[in-house]
Amino acid sequence: MEYLKSALASIRHNKGRSFLTMLGIIIGIASVITILAIGNGMKTYVNTSLDEITNGAVTINIDPKKTDRFLTPANLDTIEGAVNEIYGLTPRFSGNVGCHMREDMIVFLEGGAPIVEREFTDGMYKGHCFKEDDVEGARSVGVVDQRTAILLFGTDDVIDKTIEVTYNTGSTEITIIGVAASTPDRIAQAKQARQLRQESYYYCDVYVPYTLLTQKMGYVDEKITSFQLYTLPGMADEAALKVKAAAENILSLRGEGAVKIQSFASMAAMYNNILNVVTLVVALIAAISLVVGGIGVMNIMTVTVTERTREIGIRKSLGARTSMVLMQFLTESAVITLIGGIIGMIMGFIFTKIAESFMPFAPVISPMHVLLVVSISIADGLFFGIYPARRAAKLDPIEALRQE
């Protein structure tokens, strides 16, 4: 406690010099905390964005370069019954078609099974998704989201309205039976596009039973070489591996690498690894100021030892041990860096809030990172305080008393 009081008294006595000494530590800690918070926020943003895009979906592809085999709807039923870690799976067929309503717009027909409703992350706004009997009957029904409805019709009240689309060999009318909810931003984007007559700059997705494309329209062949599975939370990798193995067994392609998993969970892990490396490199660059700050502490403490040489001589002549003098100056350097660390932590929080106003995501401050950075700053002060402290502790009391 006596060492701490002495250190605080010395800092108060030299406020300006002490603050300048802390400045490098403050800048270093504030910048490292801000950079780590931005990196954490970016990872959260990427993961959330991928989850919103896929809603836990994993795609399985059969590589046409390695085999000409394919699956059938019956095969998918077999796979779905064999894997418990999924909500369901669906073949995916898609293609762009012409639209009689707006000839300058691109309309994509997204063919699938009713389980595609899981892709509507904001739920249904009106109506419902198509059912199994719609798939079995290859009915001309479809689901759009609010954004697409506004782009095509100028309103999201479109239940029972029709879209006439043309394809290679003819045309068909698709009756809208459901409208999926869109985010307020996407709705506002569609309304603005209508006002500015810029609808042609956007594409529109219409979800339909896949049999409408394969059987009624003959638009694509019903050879399933790509399908999606929707997994239970946290089961994406395990479920994908089981589905892949089941598909390989059905196609007799085990061990040939023809069946591939396109998992957005794996993509998220890859992006996270890249962001971790980038964040670490930038944080290490920012941490150089901590080293500079530590050198500043060492310089100032060396000056302090020189200024207090006579005081040290008096203390040692009165019986102060070498270890006591060493601890006194080490404590002072540690207190300087601790105070600098606390101020730097506060500045880091402020900088993070400022950065948040300029970014599309919120930076995330990790308490563990803050604790680690402040601990490093204290260790920095102790490390760079050793030289001046040892110098003070080794002073000869007689020589020290001779100093004016």
pLDDT digits (tens, 9 = 90+) for 338-386: 888 888 888 888 888 888 888 777 888 878 877 877 777 777 766 766 6
Q: Is 28's pLDDT higher than 60? A: yes
- Cα gap 264→119, rounded to integer Å: 14
| Contact assessment for residue 31 and residue 350, using Cβ atoms and an 8 Å cutoff | no
The alpha-helical segments, DSSP class H, found in 308-366 are 309-317, 322-356
Helix (H) or strand (E) holding 143: strand 141-145
Q: Quick one: pLDDT band at residue 392, thresholds 50, 70, 90?
A: low
Higher-confidence residue: 323 or 172?
172
| The pLDDT of residue 39 | 80
- Residue 312, phi then psi, degrees to nearest 5: -65, -40
User: From edge to edge, which strands make up the β-sheet containing 86-91?
Assistant: 86-91, 226-231, 57-62, 259-263
- Cα gap 36→348, rounded to integer Å: 10
Using the structure block, give the residue that is written with the tokens 């300087």.
336
Q: Is 11's pLDDT higher than 70? A: no
| The pLDDT of residue 136 | 92
Higher-confidence residue: 154 or 266?
154
| 3 state DSSP class of 177 | strand
Mean pLDDT of 205-219: 87
| The pLDDT of residue 400 | 47
Q: Which residues of 358-367 are buried (b: 16+ CB within 10 A; e: fewer)?
A: eeebbbbbee
The pLDDT tens digits for 274-305 are: 777 777 777 777 667 667 777 777 777 666 66
Pairing of strands 57-62, 226-231: antiparallel
Mean pLDDT of 318-344: 73
- Cα gap 343→274, rounded to integer Å: 31
Helix (H) or strand (E) holding 237: helix 236-251
| The pLDDT of residue 395 | 56
| Contact assessment for residue 109 and residue 95, using Cβ atoms and an 8 Å cutoff | yes
Tell me what percent of the residues of the chain surpass a pLDDT of 90: 17
Using the structure block, give the residue that is written with the tokens 């595609």.
116
- Cα gap 209→160, rounded to integer Å: 16
| Domain ranges (residues) in the chain | 2-48+271-401, 64-257
Six-digit token string for 387: 């030289």
| Contact assessment for residue 207 and residue 201, using Cβ atoms and an 8 Å cutoff | no
Nearest to 224 by CA among 118, 65, 90: 90
**pTM assigned to the model:** 0.57
| 3 state DSSP class of 219 | coil
Nearest to 230 by CA among 257, 208, 263, 207: 263
Q: Any idea what the Cα angle at residue 258 is, between residues 250 and 135, rounded to 5°? A: 55
- Residue 170, phi then psi, degrees to nearest 5: 170, -155
Six-digit token string for 85: 């870690």
- The DSSP 8-state label assigned to residue 195 in this structure reads H
